Amino acid sequence: MQQKTVLTADDVKKVLAAAEVEAKNHQWAVSIAIVDDGGHLLALQRLDGAAPISSYIATEKARTASLGRRESKIYEDMINNGRQSFMTAPVLQGMLEGGVPIVVNDQVVGAVGVSGVKSTEDAQIARAGIAALGV
């Protein structure tokens, strides 16, 4: 029987708080979503001034990173490099940079998705949140 690590409610709070600090330090109005390893939403925060659609996009980026077990940017790069047919992949709707998996002991335990600023900045916020776990 295999065992797996899971995110606790306290872990989710840490990640969300650190991501929010990173966004606010740069005055970036974003939405931050955290999902578990099955892509199920654990937390969502839309900061003041963030566009309503950003909450949906952030969640889908997180879901894509979690279910795909890799950064959502990889899918965006595949599409931009000519593999447009990948846009029809089932379930994966957040194929834009800004979704980053949370990896613990070589296992993806969830992901963070951010939307609202440049994609590279979205990913920066997600990584800052994950860094709060010290993994």
pLDDT tens column, 55-70: 999 999 999 999 999 9
Owning domain of residue 40: 9-131
pTM listed for this prediction: 0.94
We report the CATH number of the domain holding residue 93 as: 3.30.450.150
> Considering its fold, how many domains does the chain have in total?
1
pLDDT tens column, 119-132: 999 999 999 999 99
pLDDT tens column, 14-70: 999 999 999 999 999 999 999 999 999 999 999 999 999 999 999 999 999 999 999
Does 28 fall in a domain?
yes
Does 75 fall in a domain?
yes
Does 3 fall in a domain?
no
Q: Identify the CA nearest to 68 among candidates 31, 111, 125.
A: 111
Cα–Cα distances in Å, from 123 out to 5, 73, 80, 90? Answer: 23, 9, 18, 23
Phi, psi (rounded to 5 degrees) for 42? -105, -30
3-class secondary-structure state, position 1: coil
pLDDT of the residue at 83 = 86
